[in-house]
Amino acid sequence: MTITSRKDHSHREQQTPGPIEWLVGLVSALLIVVLIAWMAREAIMQESPPPQLDIEITGIEKAGRYFRVDFALANRSDATAAAVRVEGVLRREGAEPERSDVTFDYAPAHSSTKGGLLFEGDPAAGTLTVRPTGFAEP
């Protein structure tokens, strides 16, 4: 319990805290120790390898005039990549390859980020390749 005096606006903690206060305090201390231990483990184990990027196409759908290719950009490394450019190339017989690209601000470590590419031609009618083409350190 805390006692607040309205007059001088100061507070005085009561000297006999209830058991609930100690319980909450103890649980909190435990959680913080876990958090610190986690970070310490990361700090010691981490070797900061370069980002390892991977693309998984999750769906192809006609959206209005265009075909939308949905994909997830995964980063399986401990390092975050910034300004990741992803390029899709659609090759169809008898036509110029169609390219479209998108830039992700970040691909966080051990995380996946969703995005989409738009094509005029139907990706099902040709061969589609989607790959990351470059990144920068944040």
Partner 1 sequence: MQLSVSGSPTQKFTIGLLRGAAGALIFGIPMLMTMELWSLGFSMSRQRLLLLLLVNIPLLVVLAHRIGFERTFTLREAVRDATIAYGLGIVTSAAVLSLLGILTVDMPANEWLGKVALQSVPASIGAMLGRSQLGGSDPDEDEEEDEEPEPELSTGYFGELFMMGIGALFLGLNVAPTEEIILISYKMTPWHSLAAILVSIALMHGFVYAVAFRGTHQLDEKTPNWHALVRFTLPGYVVTSLISLYVLWTFGRLDDTGWTQVMMSMVVLNFPGAVGAASARLVL
Which two tokens mark 46? 């981490």
User: With respect to partner 1, which residue has the nearer C-beta, 6 or 65?
Assistant: 6
* CB of 45 or CB of 124, closer to partner 1: 45
Query: CA-CA distance, 110 to 80, in Å (whole number)?
Result: 8
How many residues in total does the chain contain?
Answer: 138
Considering the complex, what minimum distance in angstroms separates the CB of residue 83 from partner 1? 12
Rounded Cα distance between 83 and 73, Å, is: 12
Rounded Cα gap, residues 84 and 106, in angstroms: 7
CB of 137 to partner 1, least distance (A): 9
Kindly list the residues in this chain that would bind partner 1 in the complex (CB under 8 A). 1-7, 9-13, 15, 17-18, 20-22, 24-29, 31-32, 35-36, 38-40, 42-43, 46, 48, 72, 80, 82, 105-106, 108-114, 138
